[in-house]
């Protein structure tokens, strides 16, 4: 009886253990399928043009070495189509991009985010929007500090001029006092 129970339990364990790896394989396979599917940039997959992320990464990489004035000319030629707006955004990300143009690109990002796929939206926020926002905030802080320093510099110059005037008036008063004292001493003699 014990041997029969042992055989039955052993069989159950063997059958269950055979089923376990199959379930792991199934979940891995479905996960691998999700990873191997090409990621589309746009939320609406019907946009056939420039859907694959590789195109956009290559575009971004290739424009990195272009001077700002050349990138500005390219931006001016682009339309308001979604793919052109994304190109404008990428063209506005170089280090030499002026503050106003970088700020305009932030507006473009905000307008196009709902049209992007979830993965691309997250990528744009992490790789472009937040770093650009941080840079804009730093530049704004530097401009503000520069204005404060300029104002303080003018105030210091005004105070120095006022001090020189006051010193001149004190010197004149001292000279008058000295001449009065000398006049009094001459009168005493």
Give 113-146 pLDDT, tens digit per residue: 998 888 889 989 998 899 999 999 998 899 899 9
Rounded Cα distance between 150 and 155, Å, is 9
> In Å, what is the CA distance from 127 to each residue of 20, 93, 101, 158?
40, 10, 18, 47
Per residue, the 3-state secondary structure of 81-116, as one string, reads CHHHHHHHHHHCCCCCCCHHHHHHHHHHHHHHHHHE
Share of the chain above pLDDT 90, in %: 40
**pTM for the whole structure:** 0.62
Residues 50-102 pLDDT 10s: 778 888 888 898 888 899 999 999 999 999 988 899 999 999 988 889 999 99
Q: Is 172 helix (H, G, I), strand (E, B) or coil?
A: helix
Instruction: Give the domain ranges of the chain.
Output: 29-168
pLDDT score of 16 more than 60: no
């Amino acid at each position: 009886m014990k041997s029969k129970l042992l055989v039955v339990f052993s069989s159950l364990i063997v059958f269950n253990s055979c089923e376990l790896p199959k379930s792991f394989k199934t979940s891995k396979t479905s996960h691998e399928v999700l990873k191997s599917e090409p990621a589309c940039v746009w939320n609406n997959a019907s946009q056939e043009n420039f859907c694959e992320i590789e195109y956009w990464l290559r575009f971004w990489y290739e424009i990195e070495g272009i001077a700002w004035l050349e990138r500005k000319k390219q931006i001016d030629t682009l339309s308001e189509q979604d793919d052109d707006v994304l190109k404008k955004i990428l063209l506005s990300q170089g280090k030499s991009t002026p503050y106003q143009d970088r700020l305009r690109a932030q507006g473009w990002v905000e307008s196009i985010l709902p049209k992007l796929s979830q993965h691309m939206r997250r990528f744009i926020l992490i790789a472009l929007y937040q770093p650009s926002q941080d840079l804009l905030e730093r530049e704004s802080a530097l401009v503000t500090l520069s204005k404060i320093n300029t104002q303080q510099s003018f105030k210091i110059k005004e105070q120095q001029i006022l001090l020189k005037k006051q010193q001149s008036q004190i010197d004149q008063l001292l000279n008058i006092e000295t001449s009065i004292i000398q006049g009094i001493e001459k009168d005493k003699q």
